[in-house]
Chain A
Amino acid sequence: MKMSITTSVSPSPQFYCRSAPASALCLNIQVQSSLAAVFAQALCHYPEGDPVLFPVAAHDFASPTPSHHTTGTPPALLHSCLLSRSLRSPSVWVYVLVTLPFPRDSDIILLTEVYYGSVELNMGSLLSQLGLECGRKEVKEEERHLRANDRELNLSYKYADNAIKTSKYNIFTFLPLNLFEQFQRLANAYFLFLLCLQLIPEISSLSWFTTVVPLVLVLSMTMAKDGSDDINRQRCDRQVNNRKVEVLIDGELRSEKWMDVQVGDIIKLENNQFVTADLLLLSSSEPLNLVYIETAELDGETNLKVKQALTVTGELEDSIEKLANFNGEVRCEPPNNRLDKFTGTLTLKGETYSLDNERVLLRGCTLRNTQWCFGLVVFGGPDTKLMQNCGKTTFKRTSIDRLMNVLVLSIFGFLALMCLILAIGNGIWEYQEGSKFATFLPKQEGVNAPFSAFLTFWSYVIILNTVVPISLYVSVEIIRLGNSLYIDWDRKMYYPKSDTPAEARTTTLNEELGQIKYIFSDKTGTLTQNIMTFNKCSINGKSYGELLDFSGQRVEIHEKTEKVDFSWNNLADPKFCFHDHSLVEVVREGNPEVQAFFRLLALCHTVMPEEKEGELYYQAQSPDEGALVTAARNFGFVFRSRTPESITVVEMGELVTYELLALLDFNNVRKRMSVIVRSPEGKLTLYCKGADTIIFERLNPSCSKLKEVTTEHLNEYAGDGLRTLALAYKDIDPEYMEEWKLRHHEASTAMDEREEKLDVLYEEIEKGLLLLGSTAVEDKLQDGVPQTIEQLSKADIKIWVLTGDKQETAENIGYSCNMLREEMTEVFIVSTNTAEEVRKELQTARRKMRPDGPEEPTVTKSRSGLFCLLKTETVADEPVDGEYAMVINGHSLAFALEKDMEMELLRTACMCQTVICCRVTPLQKAQVVELVKKYKQAITLAIGDGANDVSMIKAAHIGVGISGQEGMQAVLSSDFSFAQFRYLQRLLLVHGRWSYLRMCKFLRYFFYKNFTFTFVHFWYGFFCGFSAQTVYDEWFITLYNLVYTALPVLALSLFDQDVNDRWSFQYPKLYAPGQLNQYFSKRAFVYTLLHSGYSSLVLFFIPWAAMHDTVRDDGKDIVDYQSFALLAQTCLLIAVSIQLGLDTHYWTSVNQFFLWGSLCVYFAVIFTMYSNGMFLIFTSSFPFIGTARNSLNQPNMWLTMLLTSILCVLPVVAYRFLRILLWPTINDKVRYKVRQDKVLPPAPRRVQARRTSTRRSGYAFSHAQGYGDLVTSGKFLRRSPKSRPALFSQTDSPLAQTQPQFYRTISEREEPPLSSWD
């Protein structure tokens, strides 16, 4: 009895179990067994509690059906939902106990560790969770059941129909919902609280408008933005819902709106139509019931994928009658978000057929190259996998955000302290003075000193609220938005070739771009272009592809080098370029070896041809293969078409059809592929291409001399970082072939050990080959990658490459992009198979790098975050002499990432200049990122382009997606995207640095101006009996943040630059302060606080001293409250404006305009507000009538303002000047140098570094199993999978081998851990 169990754990349970709270965990257990029933239990072991048993819902696929494609049993699907008991438990062990009725086969225990994402507690999620738990008690859909053409039954299940709704509000819910959301923000809620306080007359120290005006402004701004977003979403929804599709209703096809389509309907799709819902494919116009679809909207990949209907439904064809009578029942998994998986069964006429992903068309795909197809709606609207994937993405916050939260909280504490001091002061005053002063100011009834102090406390809470200004958050958002727009607008990050500008997809993370310490990069498509070009070849001992000058020296090939003219070949691909003319000449002369060489390339592959508008396109499994076939095409051996039995090639203009006798496909063990063809003349030939080592083993001894020469060439190619393949052929005796074919047929239909038998057969025929030569394909690096990496490492950013590639490839790329260098002290390679060995290697490496280092890492434990709830452990950086690098493979990494070894890994890896992890899975990529995040407390950035990078892009603080020619998935989950890796340096060194600088300047200044503003109130408390009397006019309090100081500080934080972009590149060291958090930290905050304290003292006591016993020049008293308020507020405004000027490094005209404009507006406003007219209209709101006129004509007022401003500013100037002299920072030095030089630094050069290494590339072949054999041979298609060892729970058709989502580069990145073809 063979059985296998795989469990899959949904990492984002909230999508999978829609109505379950976010803390639930879902398990899917697949059991393959031919037994009638399976019982299972899941045993969950929580780290901090007792194990808990959960029953697992078992689906009984009882009767083994004589399905045409399987004789094994369909997998039983068990699933269960486990509720986590603790939100914070990081991981859960799940044991699944599967009990089978037969005693001997029972008790298989399976162990899976389930990782729980850290659950961030925030008000919103808590509320939504509560809402979920008490609101809807929806029963989770356990299984979907539907019957075709039976609307009544299907409607009874109340499945969602096909209408989608992505908008949040409607007209009636907009206001309450939006307000509710907005008041969940702390700052807004705080202001609402203040507003409530102000309504109590005993407390209200300010008029209502001081709070209402800013609050309404902020709320309405946010509301406008949310509203317009939602209107756009509604418009999109409407458009999509109203699309038309043909639906089979009551035996006829009717055109219906998408939103009216129900689960269980049969719909007809035509070519180039969008797939309406998630459909079970029934039949299609194409042979073998195939359909071709484009999945660009789902995963962004533009190449076509193949789906195939079951034969039994395929027979329905396009007969409306048959389709209308079709009454198949589908049972399948409940809606989920996994694009690559579908499990279910179709029961038709008492027989059950298994369904998998290959039978399903997903909403969002487009039908291509298929005239029509019919499908049965399985999931509609919100249940479709597309919509299930549109879940909320985790909200990333920047470290400044977190710091700001901490600061705001401590400001609250500080505010409370100030209010407490003032309240105590009030209590004492009331007790000592107030009680006596009662003659003139009678006490309110029942208000004694303590109660008065209590009221005063709240009054001061209102007055001093400006320390936590509401406009801070709005301004921060505006600044981030502005700086994001700069990224979108940057022409230097625009890639003209694909017309792609850079895009800031998240507008809230900018400043963190200036603090990156670690970059995790994918390789393929990120560092490399994933474009393979046929670069060189060696044919019959002669190497082609080099340009040599007369003296035999290699000539550098650049863009202007003359290209080979392929115009003689009207089928040539115009994009192909080659520079060595001699090869064309040889081909056209008719050299038999060269022709055989290209014939082989044209025949031996699994590429699918496609003709679009008369142009020939190739659908290649891997880019390598496409490059080789294209090369053959251009050199006159054009692969035109293929049928299962034949391959048609245009050989030097002549149409030749070869009969395809066998295709010995590639797999990772064989590392070669062969075809056996019969030429029109009847000659049988085997063509084989594969890894050089493999081919060389199977050569005819007569080739030994050629082998030597070719090996030399291969070494040369490998030294240039090219990927090589060796080509060989062999003529076959027809009789032998007949006999071999018989045996082959026997083997391929064998019940067991089919693979092994076939392997033996293949081995037998692929022998005694004759060497033709070798090819060299260049895996092109993206432009400027080595320079970018060099720049970034100069900026002290560590770059780790995490790739699914093989170790050799990864190393190779490491060398070619300058991360690994020949002159490095040592490159450690960790690639072992046991935990102990991995630990030993890591330790050895560490001791070598730092012989005198301590065995235990220095770990600083601290607490941070709100209320210091977060415990952090930081591992200190350790200095090493010399340059080291580490290469670790996925297998070792799996051990190294275990709890007990991760520290070892981290220490060793962080000592190295370069870390390359190869053969890693997407999950491991995320784990590595998490590890660094956890112990380094450093800001991380992950950059990648493919679906396999999504996990790490989401895990890192900042995810960057390469918006390349394919693969949108990474971009969709990224925070920033652009087309070329080299733009990363501009993103970080220019935009990131500026954003960080600006944000820090903004925050420092903002806190400064508000603290200064507020502290003056504090001092005035001592002169007004601590009665919460404001020192400024109420209108000034209202407008200070919103009008008088808003724009200048915005200009500062949108335009400021310390040095321009060229200099930023010239001195990457300028980036360092950001990594060290130097510009804004708790320390900087305390300095700001002290600075404000000083300024407020000056701003209060200088006017006080200058005014308290003097009079105006006309003898009237000057120190009345209103004049004093005017003086204090004017002094303040002038002082903070000058301070702003001092902080501004980059004075654009906008800065000037805003600063002077704001001051002018201030004076204009006070003269207006204090005018007769305003008083006559709004008597009680503008009591300051005449103050401006009567006070500002006094010389001593102006002299006081001058004195306070100078006293506020000069010490700062002196301090900064001396600091620059005594302790200059890198920033000061560069600015000084810029001033001295007054010329721009040279524009960054782009020189392609050429590597002179003699390392052998181990790269052989880059593709895995293709769908070639499906299309080449009908008999392969019908080949039953029964003989495949059932140990692997692979899906049943060969088509399934091509996991569509990873189609492009499945072996490029990683191989599935269990592949039946290995």
Chain B
Amino acid sequence: MMKEELETANRPDNTAFTQQRLPAWQPMLSAGIVIPGFVLIGLAFIGIGVALFIASQNITVLERDYTGVETVSDCYKCSNPSVKNCTCKLDFSLSNLFEGPVFFYYGLSNYFQSQRAYGASKDEYQLSGDLDYFKTPNSACSPYQYDANNNPIVPCGSLANSMFNDTFKLYQMVNGTKKLVPFDGKGIAWWTDYNIKYRNPSVTPLKNAFNGTVKPPFWSKPAYELDTSDPSNNGFVNQDFLVWMRRAALPDFRKLYRRITEGDYASGLPAGNYSLEIAYNYPVLSFGGRKKVVFSNVSWMGGKNQFLGIAYLVVGSLCVVMSMVMLIVYAKFKFPEDDK
């Protein structure tokens, strides 16, 4: 009998993919993986937590509010907005060496740099030195786009306009005399901000670039006079300006003001009495904000933060506890034998 050759033109391909037979790893949440897994993760977390906690404990932080809300505070006199050019001082003493390098921050709270309109109120092109945008700033800068005489504001926008303008000087009281603690204001901004993102227009002198523009209304001096002593710290690449322009994500924030890395203080602030002289310019009380200064040193994991260490410890312990619970449940219920 003739064996009939079957037409098989339409027969689907026999591949692992089309036949859904791709080799695969099929893990299951079995007791053998889950319980030891929990124990291991728990132990690891406890380890990390301890390390973080110790690192955090070793960091010294000195934080002082100088808003001047309390009448006893020296800065109380300055808190009245009608007082101009007010200076106040803040005294503190260190009983031990404040190990260096010490970082000096100013902190603001209840300050909404994270507000969308606030954050958007700037002109990236202007700040990268594009002269076209000196004449016609971004409309997002409004109402700090043009002044009343229709002159363009440079740098425009609320963000730049509201730049923090308190200045600080730290003195150590050595035998009744004030010894100035040298501040290092270089390298406090991101390298990318300083070198790429913000650039002065390539006009010399810088002042000429700003012809026909006006300074932001809150500023006491125009951008090209931010640091007349050092052209590489002037204009849009002024480090304080850069730090301010990197806006904070949360309404309570601190920003690096200066580093104490020089002279006698390179290894830290020795024990003793200190006096911080504050040129109090920046109004925060009107919106219920607070100003503070912070001295801090850092460790491998950054600044002082108790939370991370504690959180690791808690989660690690919970994992261990959970593994116990699961072990008990497992021992009691086992996996049901197959139903047939």
With a CB–CB cut-off of 8 A, which chain A residues contact B333? 1221-1222
Q: Which among A490, A1024, A1179 is the interface contact of B116 at CB below 8 angstroms?
A: A1024
Q: A440-B158, A441-B112, A1149-B22 are in contact. Are A1113 and B29 (CB under 8 A)?
A: no
Chain A residues, Cβ within 8 Å of B22: 1055, 1148-1150
- By a CB distance below 8 angstroms, the chain B residues around A1180 are 124-125
Residue B36 at the A interface, CB < 8 A? no
**A1104–B250 contact, CB under 8 A?**
yes
B66 to chain A minimum Cβ distance, whole angstroms, is 18
Contact assessment for B302 and A1196 in the assembled complex, using a CB-CB cutoff below 8 Å: yes
Q: Report the interface size class on chain B.
A: 35 or more
B167 within 8 A of A: no
Contact check, B143 vs A1115: say whether CB atoms are below 8 A apart: no
Closest to B56 in A: A1110
* CB-contacts of A88-137 with B (<8 A): none
- In chain A between 1090 and 1117, which residues have their CB closer than 8 angstroms to a CB of chain B? 1102, 1104-1117
- Inter-chain contact B301/A1190, CB cutoff 8 Å: no
Task: Give residues of chain A (1184-1236) contacting chain B, Cβ–Cβ below 8 Å.
Answer: 1185-1186, 1189-1190, 1194-1196, 1199-1200, 1203, 1206-1207, 1210, 1213-1214, 1216-1218, 1220-1222, 1224, 1229, 1231-1233, 1235-1236
- Decide: B256 and A1116 in contact? CB cutoff 8 A: yes
1/0 per residue, CB under 8 A from B, across A1119-1158: the answer is 1111111000000000000000000011111110000000
* Interface stretch of the complex, out of A431-439, A726-734, A871-879, A915-923: A431-439
In the docked arrangement, what's the CA distance between A1186 and B334, Å? Answer: 53
Contact A1186 B103 (CB under 8 A): no
Out of A1105, A1120, A1146, which one reaches B26, CB within 8 Å? Answer: A1146
CA distance in complex: A1210, B320 (Å)? 12
Could you tell me the distance in whole angstroms from the C-beta of A462 to the nearest C-beta in chain B?
12
Contact yes or no, A496 B29, CB < 8 A? no
Interface residue? B228 (CB, 8 A): no
Contacts A440-B161, A499-B6, A1027-B117; is A1120 near B247 (CB within 8 Å)?
A: yes
Q: What residue of chain B has the Cβ atom nearest to residue A1219's Cβ? A: B29
B28 near A1232: Cβ-Cβ < 8 Å: yes
Residue from A201, A1121, A1175 within 8 A of B247 (CB atoms): A1121
| Contact across chains for A1186 and B192 when beta carbons are under 8 A apart | yes
Interface residues of A in 988-1029 (CB under 8 A from B): 994, 1023-1025, 1027-1029
Q: How far is the CB of B191 from chain A (nearest CB, A)?
A: 7
A201–B121 Cα distance when bound, in Å, is 13
Q: Mark B295-339, 1 if CB is under 8 A from A, else 0.
A: 010111111110110011001000100100010011001111011
Q: How close is A481's CB to chain B, nearest CB, in angstroms? A: 14
Check if B301 sits within 8 Å of A1113, measured CB to CB: yes
- Within the assembled complex, what's the spacing in Å between the Cα atoms of A1104 and B298? 19
Q: Are B253 and A1117 in contact (CB under 8 A)?
A: yes
B58 interfacial by beta-carbon distance below 8 Å:
no
Q: Are A489 and B115 in contact (CB under 8 A)?
A: no
**Cα A1149 to Cα B115 with chains together (Å):** 45
Q: B248 near A1119 (CB under 8 angstroms)? A: yes
Contact A1029 B119 (CB under 8 A): yes
User: Shortest Cβ distance from B134 into chain A, in angstroms?
Assistant: 15
State A499–B11 Cα separation when bound (angstroms).
7
Report which of A440, A1105, A1147 forms a contact with B24, defined as CB distance below 8 A: A1147
Q: Is the CB of A1124 within 8 A of B12?
A: no
Q: Whose C-beta in chain B lies nearest to the C-beta of A1121?
A: B249
Q: Which residue of B lies closest to A459 (CB)?
A: B116
Q: With the chains together, A1216 CA to B38 CA distance in Å?
A: 14
A residues less than 8 Å from B28 (CB atoms)? 1231-1232, 1235
B41 close to chain A: CB less than 8 A: yes
Q: Which residues of B contact A1232 (CB under 8 A)?
A: 28, 335, 338
**A1023 and B329 form a contact (CB under 8 A):** no
- Beta-carbon contact of A1217 and B10 below 8 Å: no
One of B114, B121, B330 near A1221 (C-beta < 8 A): B330
Contact B248 A1186 (CB under 8 A): no
Whether B30 lies near A1186 (C-beta < 8 A) is no
CA distance A489 to B19 in the complex (A): 7
Determine which residue in B143, B249, B252, B312 has the highest number of CB atoms from chain A within 10 A of its CB, and name it: B249
CB distance from A1000 to the nearest CB of B (A): 18
Enumerate chain B residues within 8 angstroms of A1120, measured Cβ to Cβ: 246-249
Determine if A1176 is an interface residue (Cβ-Cβ < 8 Å). yes
- Across the interface, A1115 reaches (CB within 8 A) one of B27, B298, B301, namely B298
What residues on A are CB-neighbors of B319 within 8 Å? 1210
Which chain B residue has the least Cβ–Cβ distance from A1120? B246
* B114 and A1025 within 8 A (CB): yes
A497 interface residue, CB < 8 Å from B? yes
Checking B20, B287, B326 against A486 with a beta-carbon cut-off of 8 angstroms, the contacting residue is B20
Write the A380-407 contact mask toward B (1 if CB under 8 angstroms, else 0). 0000000000000000000000000000
Q: Would you list which residues of chain B between 239 and 257 have a CB under 8 Å from chain A? A: 243, 246-256
Q: Which of A491, A1023, A1111, A1189 contacts B250 (CB 8 A)?
A: A1023
In the assembled complex, A64 has its CB within 8 A of some CB on chain B: no
> B46 at the A/B interface (Cβ < 8 Å)?
no
A1199 touches B48 (CB 8 A): yes
Nearest CB of chain B from residue A941's CB, rounded to whole Å: 22
Q: In the complex the two chains form, is B248's CB within 8 Å of A1117's CB?
A: yes
- Which residue of A has the minimal Cβ distance to B144? A442
Q: Are A1195 and B300 in contact (CB under 8 A)?
A: yes
| B34 proximity list for chain A (CB < 8 A) | 1213-1214, 1217
- The answer on a CB contact under 8 Å between A1116 and B190 is yes
Which residues of B sit under 8 angstroms from A1222, Cβ to Cβ?
A: 329, 333
Q: Roughly how many angstroms separate A1232 CA and B34 CA in the complex, as a whole number?
A: 15
- Tell me the chain B residues, 22-72 only, with Cβ under 8 Å from chain A: 22-31, 34, 37-38, 41, 45, 48, 52
Q: Is B171 an interface residue (CB 8 A)?
A: no
Whether A436 and B287, one on each chain, are in contact in the complex, defined by CB atoms closer than 8 angstroms, is yes
The minimal Cβ–Cβ distance linking A478 to chain B, given in whole angstroms, is 16
Q: Judging by beta carbons under 8 Å apart, are B101 and A1115 in contact?
A: yes
A653-683 contacts to B (CB < 8 Å): none
Q: Is A500 an interface residue (CB 8 A)?
A: yes
Q: Is there contact, CB below 8 Å, between A1200 and B308?
A: yes
With A436-B288, A1024-B115 in contact, do A1110 and B305 touch (Cβ < 8 Å)?
yes
Q: Chain A contacts of B29 at CB under 8 A?
A: 1213, 1216-1217, 1220
Across the interface, do B311 and A1105 meet the contact criterion of CB distance under 8 Å?
yes
Q: B253: which A residues are within 8 A, CB to CB?
A: 1117, 1119
Contact B301 A1196 (CB under 8 A): yes
> A441 and B105: CB pair below 8 A?
no
Q: How far is the CA of A185 from the CA of B119 in the complex (A)?
A: 36
Give residues of chain A (484-511) contacting chain B, Cβ–Cβ below 8 Å: 486, 488-492, 494, 496-497, 499-501
- Cα–Cα, bound, A489→B22 (Å): 14
Given A488-B12, A491-B12, A500-B10, 6 new contacts (CB under 8 A): A1113-B298, A1117-B255, A1117-B256, A1150-B22, A1186-B191, A1199-B301
The 3 A-B residue pairs with the shortest CB-CB distance in the complex, in nearest-first order: A1186-B192, A1111-B303, A1124-B249
Q: List 16 A-B contacts (CB under 8 A).
A: A433-B288, A440-B162, A441-B162, A1023-B250, A1029-B116, A1055-B24, A1106-B305, A1106-B308, A1108-B250, A1111-B302, A1118-B303, A1121-B248, A1189-B192, A1196-B308, A1216-B29, A1224-B336
